């Protein structure tokens, strides 16, 4: 049994227990052992965090210039770079994701901070020509206020940073509610945030298993924007609750993304890209390429190549360098994924590989590829969030586009072709927020990310993300001191 780390809430620049005094355990999905203990926050703690965040806006943080904020962000980026390896290990212990992947994610956190620090001192309004000779009109971009950020367990710090970096650049304060499966990395990040020297209350972390705690954050009238990443069902509830007090929302929700492979594609590259899209992170990613649409003439060759590659995927300890897939995050997620597999087989789909329990036991689900899938099957329409691929053949370009767009989701898509004309033509017709051509799963701080339809609304990353964390104020200056008729609009 390893030593169990214990944490307090991080509120107003100080560490304190939850008002209830209660805690809960965090379990490593690979070892099934408790490795950390965190506070069970309630609505009282949320209120305390929101009050602290608003106080920061009314105090030192709110009076800082964009240049001041940028300096602090760059200081935080350097600290995160220094501790990237330690944060990566914590992420992997929390959710079972490969250290090979979390190491890359933690190294890129600094990129988001540096990029948005570069924007912090360039947030500006504009002058507006007046239709009247005696007025000067200009706009200001001011922080929207306190942001309630709710992030899932699959990429906790990365998805947090997509919200935090633009919010800090805009001058907002943040209350973070991490997943109850992976709260530890948020508290460890808070330690680095504190070290960077930000004013008290700019960043706050509350952990809880209770739905009521998340609801308290979303419904709090001191929260001016909610940034949520998670399931579509919960995202709709978040939007409805936030709308009750007209808080803005950014929602990055589910996906059933298609990888479309044409017969002129490099099949070896396409097979590698499909593997990356569905089996990396054990399929536990919103952008998982969980539908493979392949032109009928190359269907068998491509599926065969994918199955052969999948046979060599090594399941095991996510901290081991030679592991390719770790376990699923929890008993609940294991039940969800295996339930989808069982129902797909019952509906008539054929498991070209997988479909049964992994010999490793525990929370492992091996690579699974289903052929003989019809477009109306559950496995072709619903998000599984596991390493399960549904293969559907098509005959021509129009059919491929129709099948891709025949989904309530529209988060991402992949196109594999050697024709640059077709790549552009198809990309323009797909209803997806991100389209990759001859690659998959690439993101960058300057590239907007978000979805169509049930995949949410708003965009994270990119320069426009900062604008989503600001309010626009219009200022009218009368320049001649005229007195006008008070009953006539001037």
CB count in 10 Å sphere of residue 478: 12
Exposure on the CB side of residue 2, measured as CA atoms within 13 A: 14
Name residue, tokens 């396409």: 270
286 is catalytic: yes
| Parallel, antiparallel or unpaired: strands 388-394 and 291-295 | parallel
* Helices and strands in the chain, H and E counts: 16, 23
Backbone angles phi, psi at 304, to 5 degrees: -60, -40
CA distance 392 to 442: 24
- The maximal CA–CA distance of the chain, rounded, in angstroms, is 85
**Range 346-353, long-range pairs (CB < 8 A, 24+ positions):** 347/377, 347/378, 347/379, 348/372, 348/374, 348/377, 349/373, 349/377, 349/379, 349/390, 352/303, 352/307, 352/391, 353/307, 353/310, 353/311
The alpha helices in 131-172, defined as continuous H runs, are 156-170
Pairing type for strands 23-27 and 34-39 reads antiparallel
Decide if 252 is catalytic. Answer: yes
Is residue 488 classed exposed, middle or buried when 0-12, 13-18 and 19+ CB atoms within 10 A define those classes? exposed
Q: Which of 91, 101, 286, 460 is catalytic?
A: 286
Catalytic hit among 188, 219, 252, 383? 252
**Residues with catalytic annotation?**
252, 286
């Amino acid at each position: 049994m390893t030593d169990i780390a214990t944490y307090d809430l991080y509120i107003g620049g100080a560490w304190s227990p939850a008002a209830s005094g209660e805690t809960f355990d965090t379990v490593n999905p690979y070892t099934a052992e408790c490795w950390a203990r965190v506070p069970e926050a309630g609505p009282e703690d949320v209120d305390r965090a929101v009050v602290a965040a608003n106080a920061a806006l009314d105090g030192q943080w709110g009076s800082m210039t964009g240049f001041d904020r940028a300096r602090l962000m760059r200081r935080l980026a350097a600290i995160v770079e220094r501790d990237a390896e330690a944060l990566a290990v914590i992420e992997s212990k929390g959710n079972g994701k490969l250290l090979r992947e979390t190491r890359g994610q933690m190294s890129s956190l600094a990129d988001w901070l540096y990029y948005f620090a570069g924007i912090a001192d360039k947030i500006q309004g504009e002058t507006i020509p007046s239709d009247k000779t005696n007025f000067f009109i200009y706009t200001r971009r001011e922080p929207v206020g306190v942001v309630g950020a709710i992030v899932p367990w699959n990429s906790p710090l990365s998805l947090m940073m997509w919200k935090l970096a633009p919010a800090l650049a805009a001058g907002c304060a943040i209350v973070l509610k991490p997943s109850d499966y992976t709260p530890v990395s948020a508290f460890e990040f808070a330690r680095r945030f504190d070290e960077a020297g930000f004013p008290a209350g700019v960043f706050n972390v509350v952990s809880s298993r209770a739905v009521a705690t998340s609801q308290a954050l979303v419904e709090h009238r001191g929260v001016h924007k909610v940034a949520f990443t998670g399931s579509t069902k919960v995202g709709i509830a978040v939007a409805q609750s936030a709308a009750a007090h007209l808080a803005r929302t950014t929602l990055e929700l589910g996906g059933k993304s298609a990888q479309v492979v044409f017969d002129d594609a490099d099949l070896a590259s396409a097979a590698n890209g499909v593997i990356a899209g569905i089996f990396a992170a054990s399929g536990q990613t919103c952008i998982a390429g969980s539908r493979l649409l392949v032109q009928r003439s190359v269907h068998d060759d491509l599926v065969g190549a994918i199955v052969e590659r999948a046979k060599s995927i090594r399941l095991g300890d996510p901290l081991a360098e030679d592991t390719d897939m770790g376990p699923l995050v929890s008993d609940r997620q294991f039940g969800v994924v295996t339930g989808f597999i069982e129902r797909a087989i019952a509906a008539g789909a054929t498991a070209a590989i997988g479909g049964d329990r992994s010999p490793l036991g525990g929370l492992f689900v091996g690579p699974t590829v289903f052929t003989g899938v019809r477009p109306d099957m559950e496995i072709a329409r619903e998000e599984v969030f596991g390493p399960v691929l549904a293969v559907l053949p098509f005959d021509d370009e129009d059919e491929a586009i129709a099948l891709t767009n025949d989904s309530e989701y529209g988060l991402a898509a992949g196109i594999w072709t050697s024709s640059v004309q077709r790549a552009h033509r198809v990309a323009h017709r797909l209803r997806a927020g991100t389209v990759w051509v001859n690659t998959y799963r690439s993101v960058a701080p300057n590239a907007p990310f978000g979805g169509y339809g049930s995949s949410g609304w708003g965009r994270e990353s990119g320069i426009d993300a900062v604008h989503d964390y600001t309010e626009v104020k219009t200022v009218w200056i009368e320049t001649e001191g005229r007195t006008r008729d008070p009953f006539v609009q001037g």
